[in-house]
Amino acid sequence: RIGGIRYHWIQADDSPHEDLLTHFPEAYDIIDKCVVSGTGILMHCMAGVSQSTTIVCSYLMKKRRKTYEEIHSLVQCRRPIISPNHGFVAQLGLWEGMGFRLDANNKQFRHYMREMYSLHTFPVKKMDQYFPRLDGREYYPSVEFRQTVCLTILNV
């Protein structure tokens, strides 16, 4: 590490099933802080083709209020080899559709989160961040919740 340089790492594989969408807001804040302060920023991934391109596009889409297609063309003029995988492109489309923010009430976002969770690429605590668990006792105080297999009483 080099002193005076701020590092931020997003663990992400170049897979259509990898989640970058939930990192977009934080990445935006980090990039924008550097841009506003005049600090340089280096974005990179393994080949500079997919993951870093997706993060850069998400930032520019929000900053300029432009569509993915418009921003993709803009970025491609500066770096012709960019090619975000189709999963990342879909996430950028969802980002655009939600007005460049994560909206837990958006049906497509909820579907996306369920899909990521079902593919086991999403930790439960990340799901809880967007969709808090309901406490069943609050709604049904006289009902006991039990697991169907062993009939253990659950503290829901």
Question: Which are the contacts of 14, defined by CB distance < 8 A and separation ≥ 6?
Answer: 45, 46, 49, 50, 51, 85
- Which residues, listed in sequence order, are joined to residue 114 by a DSSP beta bridge? none
Of the listed 34, 45, 57, 77, which one is catalytic?
45
CB 79 within 8 A of CB 48: yes
CB 42 within 8 A of CB 31: no
- Annotation says 77 is catalytic: no
Neighbours of 118 (CB within 10 A): 9
Catalytic residue ranges: 45
